[in-house]
Amino acid sequence: MIKIAVLCSGGDSQGMNTCVQTIVNMASVHGIMVMGVRRGFQGLIEDDLVELTRESVEHIGNLGGCFLKVSRCPEFKTPEGVKKGYDVLLKNRIDYLIVIGGDGSYRGAIELSELGAKVLTIPGTIDNDLFYTDRSLGFDTAVNNAVRAIDNIRQTMEANNRGLIVEVMGRNCGHIALNVGVIVGAHSLAVREVNTTIEDIVSDVKQCLQKGILSPIVVVSEAVDYSIDEVKKAVEEKCGIECRSTVIGYLQRGGEPSVLDRLFAIQFGINAIELITKSVYNVALGVRNNNIFYMKLEDVYNLDDEFNKLLYRQLRNLHNLK
Ligand code: ADP
Ligand code: F6P
């Protein structure tokens, strides 16, 4: 009997539960045994594995968070840590390991594969910072959550003629910020990818005020190297408008996965098991043009970030910003 393990790693993201459920259900169709590794690579090192059955995952498909739990595991960044994880896979006679996570988790997965483990990876991070795939699980839900939050906040800002400076997540990249900015019609968008400065934001806000906009919205990516409080201070001082600043934070990572995240999570889970039944491994699954595909795991880092500069420019054109 084939025996596989699945773990979720890094920051949890909506869709991880749906994907684990699908993996277990699909595996049972093929008579494959599934072990869930609790707490990502930390649990792997500590041999914290539990058998997953259709019954044990029956109610998790529509839940946010992560039923298996996640962790950041510094020890796994050392060769000794990876070796410990590999030995646990051998001890438990795991034939294939499925890793659901983001950029860092993929590096851990590659290290394991280099020791001889048979690994498949599924993109799961709200940041969408794995550039070989159009989408990662959680991104769509996180964008939806941030948009809903800003739609609420803007009502009270408009009632008070205040400007809003709002920070959205994305540890190293501005994909959430760009999508949220476009959807809410941000009057200024600050992302690392185009090196937006505080002076740029002030200039955008001034232009919007001159056009009669009373409550400009500034969306700031977490990845820029200044704080929203610095932005607020500069805008208030230089534009003469009262502002409020807020970090949306973990609201983005909580709550039920969107239908899109659930749909991709289900497709990833089904495809991963189908690949295992065909003895395909050391591959990364992804989405391109709404289709699931896979590529060699070792090649995922050969692709550059395709930050959508056209969309960024179109948002600026929408407000006729210089
Ligand atoms: P994400 O996977 O969401 O990007 P992290 O960057 O925190 O989240 O990575 C998750 C975990 O992956 C880390 O805590 C660590 O255990 C492992 N990891 C990250 N980078 C490496 C690396 N270079 N080598 C081995 N393991 C790594
Ligand atoms: O990687 C996803 C993410 O939510 C980032 O957007 C954010 O910077 C980070 O995780 C927060 O991590 P933690 O949950 O460890 O505070």
Alpha helices in the chain (DSSP H): 16-29, 40-45, 79-91, 103-115, 139-159, 175-184, 198-210, 228-239, 259-277, 309-318
Q: Give the distance, in angstroms, between the CA of residue 290 and the centroid of all CA atoms in the same chain.
A: 17
Domain residue ranges in the chain: 3-138+257-302, 139-253
Residue with the smallest CA separation from ligand 1 atom 26 is 108
pLDDT digits (tens, 9 = 90+) for 287-302: 999 999 999 999 999 8
d(CA 200, CA 232): 13
The fold of the 139-253 domain, in CATH, is: Rossmann fold (3.40.50)
Three-state secondary structure call for residue 311? helix
Kindly report the CATH class assigned to 3-138+257-302.
Answer: alpha beta
Q: How far is the CA of 62 from the centre of ligand 2 (A)?
A: 21
Q: Which is nearest to 280 in space by CA: 119, 136, 132?
A: 119
Q: Which atom of ligand 1 is nearest to the CA of 125?
A: 3
Q: Is 127 in the active site?
A: yes
User: Which residues pair with residue 121 across a beta bridge?
Assistant: 99, 284
Three-state secondary structure call for residue 153? helix
Question: Tens-digit pLDDT profile for the chain (322 aa)?
Answer: 999 999 999 999 999 999 999 999 999 999 999 999 999 999 999 999 999 999 999 999 999 999 999 999 999 999 999 999 999 999 999 999 999 999 999 999 999 999 999 999 999 999 999 999 999 999 999 999 999 999 999 999 999 999 999 999 999 999 999 999 999 999 999 999 999 999 999 999 999 999 999 999 999 999 999 999 999 999 999 999 999 999 999 999 999 999 999 999 999 999 999 999 999 999 999 999 999 999 999 999 988 878 999 999 999 999 999 8
Q: How far is the CA of 229 from the centre of ligand 2 (A)?
A: 20
pLDDT for 303: 82
pLDDT digits (tens, 9 = 90+) for 87-136: 999 999 999 999 999 999 999 999 999 999 999 999 999 999 999 999 99
Task: Output the CA angle 63-138-308, nearest 5 degrees.
Answer: 160
Task: Identify the residues whose C-beta falls under 6 Å from ligand 1.
Answer: 9-11, 41, 72-73, 76-77, 101-105, 107-108, 111, 125
Tell me the pTM: 0.97
Residue with the smallest CA separation from ligand 2 atom 12 is 11
Active-site hit among 12, 103, 127, 204: 127
pLDDT for 161: 97
Evaluate whether 3-138+257-302 and 139-253 have a shared fold.
Answer: yes
Q: How far is the CA of 289 from the centre of ligand 2 (A)?
A: 27
| Phi/psi of residue 56, nearest 5 degrees | -70, -20
